[in-house]
């Protein structure tokens, strides 16, 4: 299923957004073998509590690690997991991941949706989900004001409002986001032991170098205001303004990310 639209206001000269590209998506599939990502996955997983019969959204699903956690934590009794991502290549990743789910999941139970969430989630119904999880994705909602000639936080703020809208009352939101000025070299160095754990070490190293290059691009664009690596206090204020309560946060990902947990108000 695709909700993706490439129509968006852009500056006259702008570096392309690499996130929808297959090459970028595939480079990040191997990050699951890196120790910082494993730390982030553990910290995120600890705050998930999927219950039988619930519907969950995995926003920015990538290779499907969090979709798998949701399914397996529930014992395979979730009503639905919607794995949404802006990269079409991740449809194949989700399809492969489903084969390893225990217990098995059908395509109807864990389905992929191709969508650019910078433009909101209008195709998703009000109060459709009991929970939402997102791993290092929300920061990349981008919006450019042609009138002002600057990147803005409008898409970021709109996305938080949309997440609130599609959650049922008291629905849960668990997500991670990078700290201001993340040190991608720290992540890469601490992830090096993963090279001995992966069955394809050369591919792991190749993708690690690619992720470093993408990290340079991400930090550069964040400094322009295109992407949003915000202090934890600013994120918490935005969540409160959107209608979320019970806000908690912790540091993870080798000190380079925050994990947040909150609820939609009743």
Q: What confidence tens digit (pLDDT) does each residue in 176-201 have?
A: 999 999 998 888 777 666 555 666 66
Query: Comparing C-alpha atoms, which of 49, 115, 37 is closest to residue 83?
Result: 115
Residues shown for the chain: 266
Strands 80-85, 143-145: pairing kind: unpaired
3-state secondary structure of 216: helix
Q: What confidence tens digit (pLDDT) does each residue in 133-163 have?
A: 999 999 999 999 999 999 999 999 999 999 9
Position 226 confidence tier, pLDDT thresholds 50, 70, 90: very high
Neighbours of 220 (CB within 10 A): 12
The enclosing domain of 197 has a CATH number of: 3.40.50.150
Both structure tokens of 26: 């595939």
Position 4 confidence tier, pLDDT thresholds 50, 70, 90: very low
Query: Comparing C-alpha atoms, which of 185, 173, 181, 160 is closest to residue 44?
Result: 173
189 part of a folded domain: yes
Q: What confidence tens digit (pLDDT) does each residue in 107-119 have?
A: 999 999 999 999 8
209 part of a folded domain: yes
Query: Comparing C-alpha atoms, which of 76, 84, 44, 38 is closest to residue 172?
Result: 44
**246-251: long-range contacts, CB 8 A cutoff, minimum separation 24:** 248/47, 250/43, 251/179
Give the structural domain span for 60. 22-264
Predicted TM-score (pTM) of this structure: 0.91
Angle 115-160-124 from CA coordinates, rounded to 5°: 45
Domain count of the fold of the chain: 1
- DSSP 8-state code for residue 184: H
Both structure tokens of 244: 């979320």
59 part of a folded domain: yes
């Amino acid at each position: 299923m695709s909700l993706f639209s490439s129509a968006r206001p852009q500056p006259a000269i702008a570096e392309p957004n690499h996130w929808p590209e297959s090459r970028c998506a595939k480079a990040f599939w191997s990050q699951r073998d890196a120790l910082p990502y494993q730390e982030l996955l553990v910290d995120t997983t600890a705050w998930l509590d999927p219950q039988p019969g619930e519907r969950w959204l995995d926003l920015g699903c990538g290779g499907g690690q969090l979709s798998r956690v949701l399914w397996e934590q529930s014992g395979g009794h979730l009503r639905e997991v919607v794995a949404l991502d802006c990269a079409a290549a991740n449809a194949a990743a989700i399809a492969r991941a489903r084969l390893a789910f225990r217990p098995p999941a059908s395509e109807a139970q864990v389905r992929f949706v191709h969508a650019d969430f910078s433009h909101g989630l209008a195709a998703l119904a009000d109060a459709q989900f009991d929970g939402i999880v997102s791993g290092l994705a929300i920061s990349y909602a981008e919006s450019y004001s042609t009138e002002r000639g600057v990147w803005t936080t409008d898409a970021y703020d709109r996305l938080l409002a949309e997440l609130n809208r599609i959650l049922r009352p008291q629905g849960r939101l668990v997500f991670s986001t990078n700290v201001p000025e993340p040190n991608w070299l720290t992540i890469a160095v601490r992830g090096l032991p993963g090279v001995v754990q992966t069955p394809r070490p050369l591919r792991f190293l190749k993708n690690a170098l690619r992720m470093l290059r993408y990290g340079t691009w991400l930090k550069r664009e964040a400094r322009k205001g295109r992407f949003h690596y915000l202090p934890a206090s600013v994120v918490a204020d935005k969540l409160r303004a959107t209608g979320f309560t019970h806000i908690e946060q912790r540091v993870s990902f080798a000190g380079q990310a925050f994990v947040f947990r909150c609820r939609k108000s009743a």
